[in-house]
Amino acid sequence: EVQLVESGGGVERPGGSLRLSCAASGFTFDDFGMSWVRQVPGKGLEWVSGINWNGVSTGYADSVKGRFTISRDNAKNSLYLQMNSLRGEDTALYHCARDTLGIRGAFDIWGQGTMVTVSS
Amino acid sequence: QSALTQPASVSGSPGQSITISCTGTSSDVGGYDFVSWHQQHPDKAPRLMVYDVSYRPSGVSNRFSGSKSGNTASLTISGLQAEDEATYYCISYTRSAALVFGGGTKLTVL
pLDDT digits 0-9 by tens, B46-76: 999 999 999 999 999 999 999 999 999 999 9
Question: What does the pLDDT read at residue A101?
Answer: 65
Strand, helix or coil at B45? Answer: coil
Work out the mean pLDDT of chain B and round it to a whole number.
96
Q: How far apart are CA A109 and CA A99, in angstroms?
A: 8
Q: Residue A2 has what pLDDT?
A: 95
> What residue in B sits closest to A110 (Cα-Cα)?
B45
Q: Which of residues 89-118 of A touch B (CB under 8 A)?
A: 95, 100-101, 103-108, 110-113
- CA–CA distance, B58 with B74 (Å, rounded to integer): 20
| Integer CA distances (angstroms), A108 to A34, A93, A120, in order | 10, 18, 36
pLDDT, residue B2, reads 82
DSSP B4: B
- Cβ neighbors of B58 (< 8 A, separation 6 or more) are none
CA dist A9 and A38 (Å) reads 12
Give B89's contacts in chain A (Cβ within 8 Å). 44-45
Q: How far apart are CA B24 and CA B39, in angstroms?
A: 19
Helix (H, G, I), strand (E, B) or coil at B100: strand
Angle, CA of A83, A88 and A89, to the nearest 5° = 80
pLDDT at B15 (0 to 100)? 97
> Which of B29, B48, B68 would best serve as a mutation to test chain A binding (most A beta carbons within 10 A)?
B48
Question: Is pLDDT at A100 greater than 80 in this prediction?
Answer: no
Q: Give the number of beta-carbon pairs within 8 Å between A and B.
A: 78
Which chain A residues touch B58 with a CB distance below 8 Å? none
